[in-house]
Structure 1
């Protein structure tokens, strides 16, 4: 945004109007007159001279009457062309970030004025783009100084939750002191914003070049590295004539974006900066990691870049710091010897914190491992379902049952009830169905297939199914095999469950009063959301897939064929008791894995499976309808990855001493497995792969901190030994350091570049959308605050323009 705030270079009126018609001269004269008189007075500021005009207004140089500070004031004279929502979005972000010296400062906003305006600091040094056009490249030391300050400003922006998303040299303004300032936050997004943002070609990360991408700190990391690459080589990374020709021939925006992504991902990593004079090995590695095509190989955030620059500085200063590295332990030794007895408690506290931190990291890894293991186990169930439905005997039994006239008439009568709730009243039709010989034959087949898995040895890694059943095209269960026998009344055969997720494939169950005719059955294999069994009350999940007697054709180029669009002949369903999944079965008391409901709404955080639920007391409580749920505030904190003192909901139950107290908890989502067999039937998007399940691994805090108690008992004795050992090691190190730093071996400190004195002292906080580069030199949000040296229309071939709200 703010593509109208660049300033046009002014030439004498005579030169502009020499060959104009009378009407053109009149219009030019009118514009000239407008430029001599400010559009409006601004309280507290004196407007001194006209600086230039843009597509949507004028820029004036003014003076703050209170402080005498020169400022730039931008008036928006043409309201019709301005997207006020995006404009206010950018100004709001700039105001929030204006405390940092490396970000252009917005001093005042007057949206209620006529015309509207905003006041910002006057930056007169041009942009980094202007400087690079003048001199081509910068020296490595100059580039590192600017790069560090750009990263500090960017890190400050990230610490406020703002991602720039369109960082490039034209958006880096230079003050008279050559201090860089980040500008043009028109494409910025908050860190929790999922709205895409398109940036500028060759400064935009490949994953950003998509209208469906989600903002990430990795975008700004890539752009910062691309700017550094440009400063030392004179060219943006991956920018070749061949790539430009492919982009020009791509046509539409989506094709251009795809072409851009593909060209970067298929191109070898840029190497030009590694051969540039003055770029040392560590600096080259930092740049290479920033502009890596694979986002997983980049720095996670800008703070990591700053840390890498700091480590580079430390390596360059290594020898002078060796002496300090020896004196430090000596001083520590003296302090330890003097205050040993006073620091015992502090040492214990530090150890507690260290163990806590280590346990948190271990718990995170355990949660990730548990989630991936559960996905692999679910994949086995997916493959089992696909194998069962592909058997010719299965197809024949189901076809015979559904084509049996009496059974078909009973199913039609049940579906004619209108809703699943009303269908329960069709008891006569259900009785006919239950006594149907073809149904009993199908049921006997299902029972034999279920026993095939239940009868496997305990040591065999065989899926454990709770039920296998098939519904007709309207959602009525035709035949079902149970792990444990049930009575005729409890048998679900003849009951309609079209409202269940395993039938329609949606995220949540529908109301049982939903018309059956309005519910479409699923068309692909599906993992249902967790649901409670109507017979046992246990939480289950189901894997279901449509059954076609005449197999549908495969997907061709991502488009469904007419066969896939038709209603399936039946729906096969296999259910699993969550308590029987091997991952969730554990005898450990201090570290347990728990399964939670991840769906938004009042069920979020519901405990679906817990080791306590496998006890007699737990099973009885679940049968009686007891539900345990993580508190919303704690659930939100865990989803955000915060370290909280977790309290197990089961602890509220009597006789649950094993789950009392505080726990360290880590949470990871479970994704629907993307096996090859499933991939062949449908291309899955990330949204399709959400399973609605969360694995939570909890580690009892008392077990984590038990080593601290033992440490306290032995600290005094071990401390004495440590003091002597440290003293001996320090004396030895001191001897060798002194010997190595003799005049013949010593390097002069003057070998350290002047850059070392210019290191930023800003302690930026670390936190963790394609903006169009304007068709003129007016593309920068702070362009209104400087006099542009470059002509209009720069880099038109490298710009893509799209709406801010995709």
Structure 2
């Protein structure tokens, strides 16, 4: 049908309901749209017998199209009125209507229901297809799924074949002329360019859907034209663009001048271009469909399908082959399954011989690993006990206590500490910058600071380490409200990162609790610890390393107020500085498991319940990163909490080191045997005794006390777990080598059989493909043409 019929099949998106309503002031565009709506017809040009004409749909060069409803059936219909008689080639219009009536028996052609050619104005009634056109569908979705595109293509071919069987050639097949019904079936429409098969009058189609030989005023209509156009439709549905349509060719056509010149340029460009199928980049398009598409789009009409029935036959053969594929697969899978069954018995023989050895080796290695974990935990416990003695010894030195007393008695230092201690919370204490500056510059405090620095040097220098095997990272003193007022660090610390003058009452090394308190805890609710305490692991605010602190209370007047804590002395230790875990560039520690190597390593893990449980606190990779000047302090690596419970229960599990995910951690990838032991401390004698009744402060009520069922001398748990991991591949290495040797020969034989099977399968498939080879060139993958699909230009002649 003519161009104004193309509105049939699309809903009236441009016409809005014209109900009166109150609106705001309209802009110029809104006013223009309102004027256009006001000019739309409101009454149909004439009454149509048996049809209630309901609303205007669109208009074109020849008249108007209205939507109506059949009064007898209730079926929606489209009514086309021919209003403009002047200049209209009534013979062409009559031929179109005649062809539509002749083709009305086919479900894939728009159905003409009634013709009022003698009415005034003339009209005809056709079915209403409201699903839109294929062009609309492709503009919305771009490329279609393969099965959907092939299904639409096959139905369009059936419709065109029906037309050809009635002697009608469409001559202008394109997406805009294919309407989509509600059942998703296509309907051929717009037969304005159609010709009878015996007609010698040329007909112009649409660029890029028109066969090259059609683009000639001397051409004679042929069914191969519709074959080419149908192939172009399939190409568009698969690629999202019409074949050969690119910007360079469009530019050439725009500069060609006259219509004959443009047609000639189009013929030349299409004939000289590589086959369009070569640029189809979709991998899901099978070879059979590519051959069909290539033959539809062949430039030479002699090499093209001569009619639509041939296309339909090849589509059916393609579908039949696709249905045969399961049988072909079964023909291949059957022998393979037999081969696999045979191999299974051989596999059982090989694995049966190695599993016994593997189980025995694993059991022995696991027991050794458990023993190493217990020895490592005991070694670490002994080290921590030594640190306890060192801390208590340093805290009771006469000179130290005198310097602490002098600092706390100094009016200026006392005033600054009191002002900081009166803060509501540790977080609020950060605002006391003036008091902190006064404290940092206090000369009496600096003397204590120098003393602590000198004492720390003893534990960090080589001479000191020859006497003291303990490595201490920092020393500091905290007043009774939780404010650090003197500190010493192993390295230089800038003034803004110096912890002196800041309140840390929320830390476990001050309050002796199991976990750190929030920084917003009220200071008046926190009391200093009463006995020497091992803190929970925490990350240093200055270095980012995980460390623990051993803290002990300072009693400046033990005779007057034996239970009054005047200050807290704290020594912090980097977890990597424990002798058990200490790495050395030249010689590795041999104190806990003989000659250590990369096959067996010890790791410290967080034991506390909660989100930190299972966090890796110390690992050889962390030592390596520290030596290289890097840090992993911004990342957290954890062992799953359930896995921690399994390891503590003594379960033999395949362990994967979480540090393998860290930068530089590939060395620790793979499976390990792992054993885990908790680190404990001897029972605190002061807590074991119940003879002294001491009142509890606010935070002491939350502090863990001795278990009533625990007898004096029984060990106390800490928040640390020692994990010893042994590389599983080293344990099972000999068995693995034997297994590989046995399998190597078997796999070689299997590979040879598989190769023969694949070659035979390929030969059968190739033979089947050659039976239906259409002579197309092999396709190659190419980049998808990134050009927006636009409606083509239709060229018509009378």
**TM-score per shorter chain, which class?**
0.3 to 0.5
Higher relative contact order (CA 8 A, sep 6+): 1
Larger radius of gyration: 2
Normalization by structure 1: what TM-score? 0.43
> What is the TM-score with the length of structure 2 in the denominator?
0.43
